[in-house]
Chain A
Amino acid sequence: MSTLVSRAEVAMVWRLFRADAAHNRKRIALTVLAIAWGTLSIVMLLSFGEGMKRAFHRTVRGMGEGIGVLWPGATTRAWAGLNSGRQIQFTDEDMELLKARIPELGAISREYSRRVPVSLGAKSVNARVRGVDPSFGPMRNLIPSAGGRFIDEADLSEKRRVVFLGDELAKDLFGIGDPIGRTVQINQSTFLVVGVMQAKVMMGMYSGPDKGQATIPATTFKSMYTDARPGNMVYAPVSMEAGDKVKVEIYRVLGRKYRFDQEDRRALGIWDTRENQRITENIALGIQIFLGIIGALTLFVGGMGVANIMYAVVKERTREIGVKMALGAKVRQVMAPFVMEALMMTVMGGVLGTAVSLGLMAVIAVLPLKGEAFEFLGRPTFSPAIALSTSVVLGTIGMLAGYFPARRAASVNPAVSLRYE
């Protein structure tokens, strides 16, 4: 004998449910609605969580993904006959040295900077101008908007007077006009605008947001300010995992050159953005779990409604249960219809709730939400993981809401129930 529920039984349950639905229309509708509401809550909350996680992810990557920023520091230990408290200063050659010595270093760029007026005609903005290498753009997530480009190798080798503008700086100077192909004055020299940064949100930054800065080739910068030294360097390891090794190697290589103890952490400063990413991802995950629990609890209340109805149905059908038992229904055959009926109500509510949630999300997706808060909050986003976890929670609640009343049904004493009116 098969232990599965036969098709005829399913058909029977469906008919039974419809018969029930006919004379308990309001009660069943309200229960299905409660499940739909619970589903709506869990789906919307999880989707808000997902949207926020993605927004977090985007903003945390705003400065660049998996990169490190390296500053010179001051020694705190005497080493090789040199005193502690000695300031370290980078030179132009340090980048090449690190690149040559550390194979795990995927990319590295110098960053010279100075705050100078950038002007267009009579308009002048006091902006941070930085001289960098071409790898700086991709590492630091400076993506040119359509029609423009970042500093390239030719710019660097020919010390061209070209500039890549932050979007806010471009707007301050050019208004709504297209700056690409036009020129600006930096330190009384004429620079050709080759690109404007795409607007982005940054959660972490140093020396101010990228949108207000002007970026030029490192070599051009050096030729204008011959006494300049790299204020910092930006690097990206070949992989996330290589990040720790690269950090150690940087201390070793520069420690040998500048003669400091490679264990002297204060001699160099390294901002390893991987750590921030880990933290923000954990925060986002924590928020999502929290929202999910709230949603699941709401859904659970709906499940109580289903269980409640099923208990009432079991009571109403006590005699019928007895009849089935007299005709030879086994425990499983008595229980199955109740579990299936509860599942049916749960699934109906689940489908309804999910459909409404998806509709709501479609509406929110086209709403013109502006402002920094929304940049960080993101928009509710449905995902397969949300669909899966919602289904699992729904299924579990439906099973439980059916199982306990069904167990009550199976405990009916047929001899007694056949006399039950």
Chain B
Amino acid sequence: MSEQPKVEGPMIRMRGIRKAYSMGRVEVEALRGIDLDIGGNDYVAVVGPSGSGKSTLMNIIGCLDTPTSGEYVLSGEKVAGLDRNRLAEIRNRHVGFVFQNFNLLPYASALENVELPLLFAGVGTRERKERAEEMLRRVDLADRMDHKPTELSGGQMQRVAIARALVNRPAIILADEPTGNLDSASGQGIVGLFRELHGAGQTIVMITHDQAVARLAERIVQIRDGQIVEDRQAAA
């Protein structure tokens, strides 16, 4: 696994992205021509009502799904016509996911959860452990490494998930409603952590319908009916 090269130009470049689902005989267009550039060290909030296509957009940005048409370049790599294994490799190297419901493996410890992306990348045992521990320290969970998710609070679980997203040094962090399942105090902690990461140079794309959370981003992209209707700098 090679270290990822420093990319000039936008981290994410989308041109005319369309995504159509066939629901029986009916074709539903979830995305209808998205043009979007996200640069290195951007902190973008994607907002929109449910059914607007923001989840579909997130799936495509995260390479969990591929567009029906259009061009998508992530971190200098064209994401089109790739097989499952190649897509898995791109996700592993370039994308760190943070989910609303944390999605930690319940039977594995915090440390093991953070080790997972490294395991899939084929990193050796010792290095894996060191890097995972370092990440957990960074999210202030040095004393919770051997705890199972059930022994952690929501905020702690989300921080484990963030450590897991960061551990492979991804080009972007892709967060889907990261504060949606948290009480406001924990939510603020997570938002603070994102800001800190952004301050350290991390590109972050966050999907949220929480205006308060969105306002903390640098840039807000508004989606409606599968199209970008507004793209503005947040009033800081």
Give A contacts to B, CB under 8 Å: 1-2, 6-9, 12, 15-16, 19, 319-320, 323-331, 333, 410, 413-415, 418-419
Q: Is B88 among interface residues, defined by CB-CB distance under 8 A?
A: yes
B65, B88, B107, B119 pick with most chain A CB within 10 angstroms: B88
User: B120 to A329, Cβ gap below 8 A?
Assistant: yes
B96-125 interface mask toward A, CB cutoff 8 Å, 1 = contact, 0 = none?
010100010111100010011101111001
**Alpha-carbon separation in the docked complex, A414 to B176 (Å):** 14
Q: Check A326/B112 contact, CB under 8 A, given A16-B107, A19-B107, A333-B120.
A: no
Asked if B89 is at the interface of the complex by the 8 Å CB criterion, the answer is yes
Bound-complex Cα distance A158 to B117 (A): 94
Please report which residues of chain B, range 14-59, place their CB below 8 angstroms from some CB of chain A when the two chains form the complex.
55, 59
Contact assessment for B121 and A319 in the assembled complex, using a CB-CB cutoff below 8 Å: no
Which label, helix, strand, loop or mixed, suits the secondary structure of the B interface?
A: helix
Q: Which residues of B contact A327 (CB under 8 A)?
A: 91-92, 97, 116-117, 120, 164
Q: Can you give 26 A-B contacts (C-beta < 8 A)?
A: A2-B122, A8-B119, A8-B125, A9-B119, A12-B112, A19-B107, A323-B105, A324-B116, A324-B120, A325-B91, A326-B62, A326-B95, A327-B91, A327-B117, A327-B120, A328-B88, A328-B92, A328-B168, A329-B88, A330-B84, A331-B88, A333-B120, A414-B64, A415-B64, A418-B99, A418-B103
Question: What is the CA–CA distance of A333 and B117 in the complex, to the nearest angstrom?
Answer: 11
Asked if B108 and A15 make an inter-chain contact with CB atoms under 8 angstroms apart, the answer reads: yes
Residue on A nearest B62 in the bound complex, by CB: A326
Report, as a range, how many residues of chain B touch the other chain.
Answer: 20 to 34
List of A residues within 8 angstroms of B106 by Cβ? 19
Query: Which chain B positions have C-beta within 8 A of A331?
Result: 84-85, 88
Excluding A327-B120, A331-B84, 18 further A-B contacts by CB distance (< 8 Å) are A2-B122, A6-B119, A12-B108, A19-B106, A19-B107, A324-B120, A325-B88, A326-B95, A327-B116, A328-B91, A328-B117, A329-B120, A330-B84, A415-B59, A415-B64, A415-B65, A418-B64, A419-B55
Whether A15 touches B120, Cβ cut-off 8 Å, given contacts A328-B88, A328-B93, A415-B65, is no
- Residue of chain B at shortest CB distance from A320: B105
Which chain A positions have C-beta within 8 A of B85?
Answer: 330-331
- The reply to whether B128 and A8 form a contact with Cβ atoms under 8 Å apart is yes
Residues of B within 8 A of A324 (CB): 116, 120
Query: Could you tell me the distance between the alpha carbons of A325 and B99 in the complex, rounded to whole angstroms?
Result: 14
- Give Cα distance in the complex from A6 to B84, angstroms: 21
Please, how many angstroms separate the alpha-carbon atoms of A320 and B104 in the complex? Answer: 8
A418-B161 Cα distance, complex, nearest whole Å: 14
Knowing A6-B119, A414-B64, the reply to whether A330 touches B128 (Cβ < 8 A) is no
The distance in angstroms between the C-alpha atoms of A323 and B125, with both chains bound, is 21
Query: Quick one: which of A8, A323, A333, A415 contacts B115, CB cutoff 8 A?
Result: A8
Chain B residues numbered 63-85 whose CB sits less than 8 Å from any CB in chain A: 64-65, 84-85
In Å, the complex CA distance between A415 and B106 comes to 20
